[in-house]
């Protein structure tokens, strides 16, 4: 292992609602990302607003926070070689229509907002996001 990392994945409400949790977690584990911890929770809109505050100036911010707090989610700590980018590659592009074949968003995403999964976009953000959900 040259660059063992952890990253945060969230299985979003649209995917939990369709019982896709196990299918999505299988994609991670089959691609050498270990599930170090996970829990099913539902967050408040205020918590979603805090989690997504980097997007606070974006036109989709309010709807995004409403959506992420609209139903149960599963938050997952993934660990593996270059886990941040490995997870982003498995997820595919933000817009499922533009996502590469066999990515999670291509397989399961409904739309640019209901795109089934979140993944940290950098090592620094991964650390912050893991702390946000797994405080210990």
d(C-alpha 127, C-alpha 136), whole Å: 13
Q: Which residue has the tokens 């089934």?
A: 116
Q: Which is nearer to ligand UDP, 29 or 94 (CB)?
A: 94
Distance set, CA 26 to CA 9, 67, 72 (Å): 13, 25, 19
Q: Which residues contact 57 (CB under 8 A, 6 or more apart)?
A: none
Interaction of residue 121 with ligand UDP, rule CB under 6 A: yes
Yes or no: say if 64 and 48 are a contact pair by the CB < 8 Å rule.
Answer: yes
Name the catalytic one among 12, 25, 105, 118: 118
Span of 7-15, 64-72, 102-110, 121-129 interacting with Mg ion by CB under 5 A = 121-129
Q: Which is nearer to Mg ion, 37 or 121 (CB)?
A: 121
Cα-Cα end-to-end distance for the chain: 26
The token duo for 50 is: 């805090």
Among 94, 124, 128, 131, binds ligand UDP (CB under 6 A): 94
Q: Which is nearer to Mg ion, 26 or 100 (CB)?
A: 100
Interaction of residue 60 with ligand UDP, rule CB under 6 A: yes
Interaction of residue 70 with ligand UDP, rule CB under 6 A: no
Mark whether 118 is an active-site residue.
yes
Yes or no: say if 24 and 108 are a contact pair by the CB < 8 Å rule.
Answer: yes
Interaction of residue 118 with ligand UDP, rule CB under 6 A: yes
Applying CB under 6 A, which residues contact ligand UDP? 55, 60, 64, 94, 112-113, 115, 118, 121
Catalytic annotation, residues: 118
């Amino acid at each position: 292992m040259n660059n063992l990392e952890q990253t945060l994945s969230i299985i979003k409400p649209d995917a939990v609602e369709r019982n896709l949790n196990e299918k999505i977690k299988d994609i991670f584990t089959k691609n050498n990302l270990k599930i170090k911890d996970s829990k099913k929770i539902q967050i408040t809109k205020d918590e979603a607003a805090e989690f997504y505050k980097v997007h606070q100036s974006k036109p989709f911010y309010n709807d995004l926070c409403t959506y992420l707090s609209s139903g149960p989610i599963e938050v997952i700590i993934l660990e593996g070689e270059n886990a941040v980018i490995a997870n982003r590659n498995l997820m595919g592009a933000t817009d499922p229509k533009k996502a590469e074949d066999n990515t999670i968003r291509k397989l399961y995403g409904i739309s640019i907002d209901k795109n089934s999964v979140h993944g940290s976009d950098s090592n620094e953000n991964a650390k912050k996001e893991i702390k946000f959900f797994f405080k210990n």
